[in-house]
Structure 1
């Protein structure tokens, strides 16, 4: 059995992908400790888990606690859940960028962030623009092993009701069969696949900095 030695920092453990990823971390012998930073509790305890319930919009005020080996940021909201654009930006831009700044400050060399396919700082679409600006700001911190994942629509079942998203997922199940070649990156992707890819990327060498959805599938399956 591989000796446990690393400490993981996880942002977004109460979300769909974050929850699945946490389960993988708990089962992975590479990690001895998992530090969770979130607004609400995951609802259970584990010998590996060190849970910090904080205001994530003030993450930078908790720098003394923000120490470890690998940072995984699964933070993300939606237009329906966060209709106010200022609040949306504070979450989707502010939290990952704060994590990158703390990684640099505390000399944490591995940073893996979930962004989105279509992220583009020059986009006329507000949500794509914010993701693109976030990526640019994160990379500007020059954390040594920074990887940004750009998944397409994430499948799976969420606890909260998102009717529009559910309907779109049903449509995508049909279209996935015809999205081939250069269009393959637009196929929906399962959160388990993203989580598996994140584990692999944190513990193996990879030259890619931004990884689109089809490449995430290759790594995570």
Structure 2
């Protein structure tokens, strides 16, 4: 049976890869994308809604599907403040999830971060952890949390810190073995593929996947 996928953050690094995977798949006959601004992208399967993310409740009737994929995310530098960062990485994903759960969406799959913990002393990781805690309480058939380490890929905007981090992590990956493998950098397109693959497994309950496991899932057939 063909399904409907809902995607948030389809214009970002990982989301853009995931969107193409969904559109090229024969599993989904409809893909609904919520964006801030129209992208101009056209595809027979794609329905795009440019919405006000501050008022998600206004669009409840549009949230109708089987699997919701959330690739929303920013940086504190790009957001401009911790308050705005919280909106993008905590409030928007959790507010969409609450509506989706109430509307009968079966699966919710989201990109978090390695080390996410609501009790962390690091604001970034604490915010990610708070979002995970909200999701854990919602009535989905399945919730899949993807915790990648540094994401590799060509972003639309240049981030000097991440470029330096990419270089360091590529070198560090040579010594990140055993239990440390989960800290290896990973290509965004592999995270996207892993999200898609997990969605097809129709798992039950709450699951967390870190970088090393994500890499394995991405190559599974």
Same topology, TM > 0.5: yes
Output the aligned Cα RMSD: 1.2
Flag the 1:113–1:64 CA change in 2: closer, same or farther, 3 A.
same
* 1:86-97 matched pairs, under 5 angstroms: 86-97=83-94
1:60 Cα shift?
2.4
Q: State how 1:38-77 maps to structure 2 within 5 Å.
A: 38-77=35-74
Counterpart for residue 213 of structure 1: 211
Q: Residue 147 of structure 1 contacts residue 211 of structure 1 at CA under 8 Å; is this kept in 2?
A: yes
Q: Distance in 1 between matches of 2:29 and 2:80?
A: 38
What is the CA deviation profile of residues 169-203 of structure 1, one whole-angstrom value per residue up to 9, with x for unaligned ones?
11111111110000000000111111111111111
Pick which of 51-60 and 194-203 moved more: 51-60
Q: Distance in 2 between matches of 1:172 and 1:60?
A: 40
Look up the match of 2:132.
135
Q: Is the 8 A contact 2:3 2:29 kept in 1?
A: yes
| Deviating more after overlay: 33-42 vs 128-137 | 33-42
The answer to whether structure 1 residue 81 and structure 2 residue 73 are counterparts is: no
| Rounded Cα–Cα distance in structure 1 between residues aligned with 2:48 and 2:98 | 21
Structure 2: stretches of 5+ with no match in the other structure: none
**Counterpart check, 1:29 vs 2:32:** no
Residue-by-residue CA offset, 1:90-109 (whole Å, 9 max, x unaligned) = 11001111121012110111
Deviation at 1:123, TM superposition (A): 0.4
Deviations 1:2-52 (Å, cap 9, x if unpaired)? x6x211000000101000001111110011011000102333211101000
Given the superposition, is the C-alpha separation of residues 178 and 206 from structure 1 closer, same or farther in structure 2, using an over 3 Å criterion?
farther
Report which stretch shifted further, 33-42 or 185-194.
33-42
Mark the runs of 5 or more structure 1 residues left unpaired by the alignment: none
Deviation at 1:57, TM superposition (A): 2.7
Instruction: Compute the displacement of 1:141 (Å).
Output: 1.2
Tell me the secondary structure at the aligned position of residue 50 of structure 1.
strand
State the shift of 1:206 in Å.
4.1
Q: Distance in 2 between matches of 1:150 and 1:140?
A: 19
Shift of 1:159: 1.2
The answer on 1:105 being equivalent to 2:88 is no
In the alignment, which residue of structure 2 is the partner of 1:175? 172
What is the distance in 1 between the residues matched to 2:196 and 2:110? Answer: 12
* TM-score, normalization by structure 2: 0.95
